[in-house]
Amino acid sequence: MKDHFVICGWTPIAKVVFKELVSSGHNIAIVSEKLKDASEIKSMKGDLEVTIVQGDPSVEEMLKMANVGECHTAIVCTVDDTKNLIVSLHIKEMNPNARIIASIQREELKKTLKAAGVTYVASPDEMAGRLVASASFEPEVGAYHHHHD
């Protein structure tokens, strides 16, 4: 899977984003720690092929299994801010060109993430509304690829 969306964490925000991505037919990989999440994901994905990696997204091996290195956008929204920070930094390292959208509760961590090059940092409340409306669906998605020769 390439040029896909990777969702890290299975939270209410993740579900909203997932529904949107499924309805627009994007390829998606999800990294989530709980086994029961997999059955919920399967029930929501319709006919779309979705890669489900069961594991902790802050572990690089799990991100590799989701092929983060070749993803278009990563949406980082576990319930733990510190974990979101670690996951975002790993993704940035593995794929400097990926758009990274992170959900963070603590204001001071937002600055850290911005400094680390994360594309879009939002609080969970903002994420639910704005992310779905705009950040996930800028017109270039799908037609636009980051190629630096």
* pLDDT tens-place string over residues 79-125: 999 999 999 999 999 999 999 999 988 888 888 888 888 888 887 77
* pLDDT tens-place string over residues 32-65: 998 888 889 999 998 888 999 999 999 999 999 9
CA 57 to chain centre: 10
Instruction: State residue 119's pLDDT score.
Output: 86
Torsion of Cα atoms, 125 then 43 then 138 then 99, to 10°? 80
Inform me whether the pLDDT recorded for 149 exceeds 50: no
User: Model confidence at 144, in pLDDT bands (50, 70, 90)?
Assistant: very low
Residue 98 in any domain: the answer is yes
120 backbone dihedrals φ, ψ, rounded to 5° = -150, 120
Whether the Cβ atoms of residue 99 and residue 26 lie closer than 8 Å to each other: no
Instruction: State residue 128's pLDDT score.
Output: 64
Residue 67 in any domain: the answer is yes
Residue 44's alpha-carbon distances to 34, 66, 75, 133, in angstroms, are 16, 19, 18, 20
Residue 145 in any domain: the answer is no
Residue 148 in any domain: the answer is no
Residue 147 in any domain: the answer is no
3-state class (DSSP) for residue 117: coil
Instruction: Name the pTM for this structure.
Output: 0.83
Residue 143 in any domain: the answer is no
Residue 142 in any domain: the answer is no
Residue 144 in any domain: the answer is no
Q: How many domains does the chain have?
A: 1
CATH number of domain containing 117: 3.40.50.720
Range of the domain at 117: 5-137
Whether the Cβ atoms of residue 84 and residue 77 lie closer than 8 Å to each other: yes
